[in-house]
Amino acid sequence: MIHAHFRPLLAFAALAALQSAGLRAAPEYPAQGPDIYDTHADAEAQIAAAVRRAAAEHKRVLLDFGANWCIWCRRLHATFESDPSVSAALGKGFVVVMIDVNTRNGVKRNAGVNERYGNPIHHGIPVLVVLDSDGKQLTTKDSGELEEGEGHSPAKITAFLAQWAPPGRP
């Protein structure tokens, strides 16, 4: 039997557990799996934070424009995370920002950021933009050039990253 003194505490704990469970939003496209792009993120704020971090860590910023429904976005992201050479190159030289550019219910997410960097999504998605540690745009990469078969070539990705890595960080 639960002592009457603990009942309010247990009720509060149960309520907190229910509320925290509700904080996890369901995936935007459940058939695709968990979201890889944050549908509510402020890309301007994300980029500003990434530039500050890149400056402090002597890295570059890699902007990854995409959408949660995009299978090629998911394939590129999976290569970023699962291939040891790609993960190492990213970790050593880049701060990665995943930018959701989906259009849903007539709303173009992060449209201002897309415009700011010269409409890179006209290449399709995913598309990559590299910034220096001051936030200056260095290059835009159509990720189709990194594809190989049903995915992305780790060798092509690492060559691209090496080309745009900060000086002294191949």
Between residues 133 and 6, which one has the greater pLDDT? 133
> Residue 122 domain-assigned?
yes
Q: What mean pLDDT, rounded, does the chain reach? A: 87
Q: What would the mean pLDDT of 86-95 be, rounded to a whole number? A: 97
Task: Identify the CATH number of the domain in which residue 69 sits.
Answer: 3.40.30.10
Q: How far apart are CA 105 and CA 3, in angstroms?
A: 51
Q: Residue 144: which domain range?
A: 29-164
How far apart, in whole angstroms, are the C-alpha atoms of residue 163 and residue 137? 14
- Asked if residue 151 belongs to a domain, the reply is yes
In a domain, 24, yes or no: no
Task: Check whether 73 has a pLDDT greater than 80.
Answer: yes
Does residue 118 belong to any structural domain of this protein? Answer: yes
15-24: average pLDDT = 45
Q: Quick: pLDDT tens for 91-103.
A: 999 999 999 999 8
Measure the CA dihedral 46/50/51/53, to 10°: 140
Answer whether residue 9 is part of any domain: no
On whether residue 64 sits in a domain, the answer given is: yes
**Domain-located, residue 98:** yes
Look at residue 64 and give its three-state secondary structure: strand
pLDDT value of position 104: 83
What mean pLDDT is predicted for residues 137-151? Answer: 96
Q: How many domains does the chain have?
A: 1
| pLDDT over 90, % of the chain | 75
70 within domain boundaries: yes
Report the run of H or E that residue 151 belongs to, with start and end. Answer: strand 151-152
pLDDT at 18 over 60: no
In angstroms, the CA 104 to CA 89 distance is: 33
Residue 14 has pLDDT above 60, yes or no: no
pLDDT at 149 over 90: yes
What is the pairing mode between strands 94-100 and 103-104? unpaired
Global confidence as pTM: 0.83
| C-alpha to C-alpha distances, 34 to 26, 38, 55, nearest whole angstrom | 8, 10, 31
Beta-sheet strands, E only, within 6-143: 60-66, 94-100, 103-104, 107-108, 127-131, 137-142
Going by C-alpha positions, the residue among 132, 126, 131 that lies closest to residue 145 is 126
